[in-house]
Structures are given as C-alpha cells and as structure tokens.
Chains A and B, each alone.
Chain A
Amino acid sequence: MSGPIIALDRISKDFVTPLDLAARAANLLGARLRESAIRAVDDVSFAVDEGEVVGLVGESGCGKSTLGRIVADVLAPSAGSVNFRGAPRDELAGEAARTAALKVQMIFQDPMASLNPRLRVGDIVGEAPVVHGIVTRAERRDYVAALLERVGLDPRYTTRYPHQFSGGQRARIGIARALAVKPDFLVCDESVAALDVSIQAQILNLFMELRHDLKLTYLFISHDLGVVEHLSDRVVIMYLGRVVEIAPTETLFRAANHPYTRALLANVPRLEARKQRFAPIAGEIPSPLDPPSGCQFHPRCPFAMARCKSEAPALREITPGHRSACHLNDAA
C-alpha cells in the first residue's frame, strides 16, 4: 500500500449570504445588519489511501456533500488545503494541475440533473476524453462503446438521450462519464440513494467490480449505513460540519465510540430486527446558522456534561486507527 492519494488538511467551508439591497440600505441608516455565514464544513482532516474505500456518513445538512465537492475540486475550501498524492492541490500548475483534476472525478446522486438532457449518450460520455486528448476524435466511437459495455449498458445506446433510460441505466451513464477520463479516485455522492433496492444492488456490485478491475479509490458519501458498511474499508461520521468519529468499518459497527454514532447505529432499521422497539434520540439536528456551543451534539446527547457545552472536543485517537471526538474519552 502506498501513501494517501487525497489528504484533507484542516478543511473548512463557509457559505456567506451577501446582504441584499434593502439590507445594505438599512445599514446606511445605521441598522448594522451583518452577512450571515454558514460553516458547512469545520476543520476537517483525514486522508484516503490508494485503493481504499472510505464511507462518509451523516444526516442531511452535516456537510458531507460539501466536503465531497471540495475533494472533487468542484468547490474551493475557505480554509485548509487538499493534498493530491502529497502535493497541495492549489499550488499545482500546468500539467500537474490538469492531471490532479482529471484523476479525481465525481458521480452525483441524481443522474437526470447531472446529464445534459439535450446531448446523446455518446456525446455525454465521449466529450471529455476527446477534449483532454485521451483519445482522438476517430477513436471516440469505439472508446465510448467499450466504456458503456464496461458499466453494463448496450453499446448500441450511444445515440439515445438520457430520458430514454431508466434510473439504474442513468446511474450507469454517470459512472461511464466519470470513468471516461481514466480517474484514480471517484467521489460518489449518494450515487445509489434514488434507486430501488434491486437496482441499487446491481450498481453497488458494479462499483465493487470497477474498484477491483481498475484499482479505483472511492470516497463514498451516503446517509445509508447499510450501504456504507457493505462497501467501505473505513468510515467517517460527520455531524454539523465536523468529523465526530473515524474508524475501520469493522470497528465502527462493532464498537462505536461517539454517542452520535451509537445513536445512529441503534436507529437503523435492520432486516434481522423484528418488532423493533424504536428508541430514538431526542430532538433534531440544530440549524447550522446557529450551531450549539462546545460539542455540537450536546443538546441531544444522553451523556452530556457541563464541559460539553463550553468546549469542543478534539478528534483524538482512542485505539490505533480509531479516532473519536468526545469528552467522555478523557474521563475514562
């Protein structure tokens, strides 16, 4: 195993809503309105090793998609840096920057929203490799056909439009498009969430085959713990923009440390559980506009102490490879 392919170093991302005209006018009159900022990702650091599948889990609004977009270089972080094979990506230039950009590709949740409805599949999949000089215009046809076959689609479909496909087939087109520029690293953002279980199983199997055949590395973003457990080597759990726990999959599902992770695991409906007594954690995810002080989970945490309200816990190693951000680990 070689070093990390992607390393995130203290990444933060703020989304600032600028003041509108009325607010600016009010400020001229002394209203002192301020821009509202949402910290979507807050000081996140972790690395993904070559060939590894890292699952990124969290509920809506926890910043997992934003983080995925930063990794895929679709969004720029407000602070911190993304290292690609050891080099800070924002310092790369020329050929090296181009390679870094091509080697990390993203697959989106809703293929209908990410596939241009007016382009034929052959153009959707074949445009990027021609532009980037991976194949010539003359070779494009065969190249696209091979890619479609690789993801389990009939190569004769190149002249069809996205709306002529089912949801599962569209997911396959999205995967073919990402593979077209020969990436090493795929960011999959809820790529199977919208699919029926039987189709989801087909796509998950495809992801695993591709990983094996093409030596791919994945950052697999999902709210579905079952999917993540099945696919990942390591799991990162996020809550309100922060990483609360990172552990090898086995360890996380056997011996989760953080109270939030444990609550999540306890609340996942399982096929094995009959007449489950659902014992939910109280409350809802707080608004990221007004996050709680200290540990962001403390208003919902059954073990919260005075310290949790004032001081944010650091992500610390509790056993080798298993890191958790909880004050309870200091007490023990």
Chain B
Amino acid sequence: MPAPVLAVTDLSTSFFTRNGAVRAVNGVSFAVARGEVLGLVGESGSGKTVTGFSILGLVDPPGRIVGGSIRFLGEELAGASDERLRSLRGASIAMIFQDPMMTLNPVLRIDTQMIEAITAHEKVSHRAARARARAALAAVGIASPDERLAAYPHQFSGGMRQRVAIAIALLHRPALLVADEPTTALDVTIQSQILAEVQDLCAESGTALIWITHDLAVVAGLADRVAVMYAGRIVEEGPVDAVLAQPLHPYTRGLIGSVPSRNARGAPLNQIPGMAPSPADLPPGCAFAPRCPRADVVCAGPLGMTGHPGERAARCWHPYVSEAAR
C-alpha cells in the first residue's frame, strides 16, 4: 500500500476557556490515501469540524492543538510555522466550507479573487491566471464563465457560490481537499450536482478527500471509508459498506436507526435516548455509555480503539461483533 497523503495520529485540540479546557478533539487518528474519499461523520459538537480546521492549521485562540501529529505527504504539520502552512494552504491542501461566503470576499469580483489565489502560489502572468480561472469555472459547470468572472459573489445563487468556492479550492490541484458540510445548506437537486462534480474532479486529479458531514446518506453515496465521531473521539472506522451494513459501535447503530428512510414507514424510529455530553464535562471511559443500551460497569474504564477484521476498528467494550461476523 502506498504511503497515505495524510496520516493523523492521536490528534488533540482543546479550547482554553474561562471555565476550563474544552477537549473538542481528543486523540483522533486516521489516514487518507491518494484518490480516497473519507467520510467524517458526527453530530453537532462531535469535533468533526475542529478536526478539519486542525489539519489546515486554522484553529484560532483560545483553541490550540495540544498533542498528536498530522503528517501530510511525510511532512509534520502540527506545530509547523504559519508561513509554511500558508504556503501549503490553497496550494496542496484546500478546504471548502459550509458557507461559501467564508471563502469569498464580498467586495471583490470573482476574477480578482481567483487570479489572486493563483498568483499567490505560482509565478504566472495575469493573462494566464485569468485563463486558468476561466477554465476552472467552466469545469465546475458554471455557464458563460467569461461573464461570471466579472461578477461579484452576491450576484450568484447559493449553489453557484459553492461551485465557485470549489473551483477556487481545486485551482492548484491539491493533494488533499477538506470539505466541511459544503452541501448542507443547499437544496437536494443542487446538492446532487455538487456531489457529482466533486466526485468527478477528485477522481480525475487523484485528490484525497475528507468529507465532513452529519448526513450518513451522503457519505453512503460518496465515501470509500467512514469515520464516526462522538464527543471528540472517533468511535468507529472502516469501509463504508461494512460500517453501514453491520455497525460495530452502538452509537453508529443508533445513528443509522435514526435515519427515517431506513425504517418502516410510520413505525417508531430507533432513537438514541438522551443527548450528547458537553465536551467540557465528559464522563470517564466511554462518552457514549450514559446513552448506550449495552453499557455496564466496564464502560467507565479506559478504552482505546480496537481493530476488527476487514480493516475496521471501534472504540467499544461491547461491540456488535458476533452480529458483524455473521
């Protein structure tokens, strides 16, 4: 197996507030290979976004990476200088955000922003940069790219803005793209257009993709592997087929049971009782134990990721192993 594009080991990111340290990301490890799509799934507050931000070195004070390593193409990013990170961001690592207006400057025309993004990392002429920007817009399916280059972000619809953000992210054919819920705010038909384009573009350029989302159904259709996060930790990881068909972790199983389309119409959904704990006040041992149907006294003990057959792993004392083996 070739070396992964990104290998995250034991990453921990905390926010230091007046009420003490909040451990948003707590010992997270995963790897993404070239051309692979990893779905990073979790509910609000699970630490999935902070994980993405940590990889790009975008965590602002009072937050800080407090431990672990982020190796990108063999280079250590945790603790790298701002200057080094800036030269990587946008060139070899790119990010798409949920709200494209986080990427786009509202008072600059699209061409200004795209050309700046190109010339920031490469020495090319203004004219060549413009031609590339035009080609990038056309590649994400924007009609009449010449006119659109001269437009301002507010003149685009939400879906179009997200396309522009994707075009900018892919300008330098990055080795790694981190997408943080980029289709959550979009309508179904537009979401499906964006998913199709990202699928094609990543397959073409071999970009490794981390798709952060709360929507298991999107991951099912898009990802090769999936990592499920809960309260700052990855609780289950594995190939998407196996994880969705036979989840090991009770939380994964609960999440899948909560999706309406998976259940018989009108029948009660298999809800998970209670709600996620505050990351400022985590229970000892397994954070899911208070909501878990299989929890007992062992669950309060220290607990690591254990491997399971089929390149799978789960953080659980009582995984649904026999069911998965069957």
Residues of A within 8 A of B176 (CB): none
Interface 1/0s, chain B 65-101, versus A by CB < 8 A?
0000000000000000000000000000000000000
Q: A321: which B residues are within 8 A, CB to CB?
A: none
Check if B265 sits within 8 Å of A280, measured CB to CB: no
Does A117 make an interface contact (CB < 8 A)? no
Determine how close the nearest CB of chain A comes to the CB of B59; give it in whole angstroms: 23
- Residue B139 at the A interface, CB < 8 A? no
Does B262 sit within 8 A of A, measured CB to CB?
yes
**CB neighbours of B266 from chain A (8 A):** 208, 230-231
Q: How far is the CA of A268 from the CA of B187 in the complex (A)?
A: 10
Measured between beta carbons, the chain B residues less than 8 angstroms from A198 are: 43, 254-255, 258, 271-272, 275
Report the Cα distance A274→B265, complex, angstroms: 22
- Any chain B CB within 8 A of the CB of A226? yes
Stretch with Cβ within 8 A of A (4 or more), from B26-34, B104-112, B113-121, B215-223: B215-223
3 closest A-B pairs by CB:
A276-B221, A201-B258, A230-B260
Question: Contact at A196–B262, with CB atoms within 8 Å?
Answer: no
A264 touches B259 (CB 8 A): no
Which of B44, B192, B258 touches A267 (beta carbons < 8 Å)? B192
A60 to B184, CA, bound (A): 13
Does B246 belong to the interface (CB within 8 Å)? no
B268–A229 contact, CB under 8 A? no
* A268-B192 Cα distance, complex, nearest whole Å: 8
User: Contact at B268–A208, with CB atoms within 8 Å?
Assistant: yes
Q: Is the CB of B193 within 8 A of A280?
A: yes
Contact A267 B191 (CB under 8 A): yes
B196–A271 CB distance below 8 A = no
B190 to chain A, nearest CB (A): 7
A-B contact count (CB 8 A): 137
> In the assembled complex, how far is the CB of residue B254 from the closest CB belonging to chain A, in whole angstroms?
6
- In the complex the two chains form, what is the Cα distance from A197 to B216 in whole Å? 9
A223 in contact (CB, < 8 A):
yes
B205 contacts the other chain (Cβ, under 8 Å)?
A: no
In the bound complex, do residue A278 and residue B269 qualify as a contact, i.e. CB atoms below 8 Å apart? no
A59 close to B187 (CB less than 8 A): yes
- The answer to whether B188 has its CB under 8 Å from any CB of chain A is yes
Known: A199-B275, A201-B271. A268 touches B265 (CB 8 A): no
Give chain A nearest CB distance to B168 CB in angstroms: 20
B157 touches A284 (CB 8 A): yes
Please tell me if the beta carbons of B217 and A270 are within 8 angstroms of each other in the complex.
yes
**Chain A: minimal CB distance from B50 (Å):** 16
Q: Within 8 Å CB of A130, what residues of B?
A: none
In the bound complex, CA of A272 to CA of B245 (Å): 9
Which residues from chain A contact B256 at a C-beta distance below 8 Å?
Answer: 271
Question: Given A230-B260, A285-B187, are A270 and B272 neighbors across the interface (CB < 8 Å)?
Answer: no
B265: which of A166, A167, A230, A279 is its contact (CB, 8 Å)?
A230
Q: Is B295 an interface residue (CB 8 A)?
A: no
Report the Cα distance A281→B187, complex, angstroms: 12
Q: Are A230 and B261 in contact (CB under 8 A)?
A: yes
A230 touches B269 (CB 8 A): yes
A269 x B268 contact (CB < 8 A): no
Given contacts A197-B216, A269-B221, A270-B221, contact A278 B195 (CB under 8 A): yes
- What chain B residues lie within 8 Å of A227 (beta carbons)? 260
Query: How many residues of chain B are within 8 Å of chain A by beta carbon?
Result: 46
Structural contact, A284 and B190, CB atoms closer than 8 A? yes
* Neighbouring B residues of A313 by C-beta, 8 Å: none
Please report the C-alpha to C-alpha distance between residue A200 and residue B270 in the assembled complex, in whole angstroms.
Answer: 11
Min CB gap A306→B, angstroms = 23
| A-chain residues with CB within 8 Å of residue B43 when the two chains form the complex | 196-199
B108 to chain A, nearest CB (A): 23
Contacts A229-B265, A268-B188, A274-B240 given; indicate if A284 touches B159 (C-beta within 8 A). Answer: yes
How far, in whole Å, are A281 and B159 apart by their CA atoms in the complex? 13
CB of A205 within 8 Å of the partner chain: yes
Beyond A271-B259, A278-B195, A280-B196, whether A223 also contacts B188 by CB under 8 A is yes
B145 at the interface (CB under 8 A from A): no
Task: Check B125 for interface membership: any CB of A closer than 8 A.
Answer: no
Contact of A274 with B269 in the complex, beta carbons under 8 Å: no
| B-side contacts of A229, CB under 8 Å | 260-261, 265
Question: Contact at A281–B189, with CB atoms within 8 Å?
Answer: yes
> Which of A60, A200, A250 contacts B258, CB < 8 Å?
A200
Closest to B195 in A: A278
Residue pair A274, B260 in contact (C-beta under 8 Å):
no
User: Which of A196, A231, A271, A273 meets B214, CB within 8 Å?
Assistant: A196
- B 182-236 contacts with A by CB, 8 A: 187-193, 195-196, 199, 214-218, 220-222
Q: With an 8 A cutoff between CB atoms, is A153 at the interface?
A: no
Judge whether B257 is part of the interface by a CB distance below 8 angstroms.
yes
CA distance A275 to B160 in the complex (A): 24
Q: What residues of A have a CB within 8 angstroms of the CB of B306 in the complex?
A: none
Q: State whether the Cβ of A45 lies closer than 8 Å to any Cβ in chain B.
A: no
Given known pairs A208-B266, A226-B259, the reply for A59 and B217 (CB within 8 Å) is no
Given contacts A197-B255, A201-B271, 18 further A-B contacts (CB under 8 A): A59-B187, A60-B187, A168-B275, A197-B215, A202-B271, A202-B272, A208-B268, A229-B261, A230-B269, A268-B188, A270-B221, A272-B220, A273-B220, A275-B221, A277-B196, A280-B196, A281-B189, A284-B159
Identity of the chain B residue whose Cβ is nearest the Cβ of A285 in the assembled complex: B187
Most chain A beta carbons < 10 A, residue from B196, B214, B257? B196
A204 contacts B by Cβ under 8 Å: yes
Chain A residues contacting B240 (CB-CB under 8 Å) are: 274
B69 to chain A, nearest CB (A): 30
Q: Given B188, B195, B261, which contacts A271 in the complex, CB threshold below 8 Å?
A: B261
B271 near A269: Cβ-Cβ < 8 Å: no
- Per-position contact with B for A228-254: 1 when CB-CB < 8 Å, else 0? 011100000000000000000110000
Q: Are A264 and B188 in contact (CB under 8 A)?
A: yes
Name the residue of chain B whose CB is nearest to the CB of A269.
B217
In the bound assembly, the distance between CA atoms of A204 and B216 in angstroms comes to 18
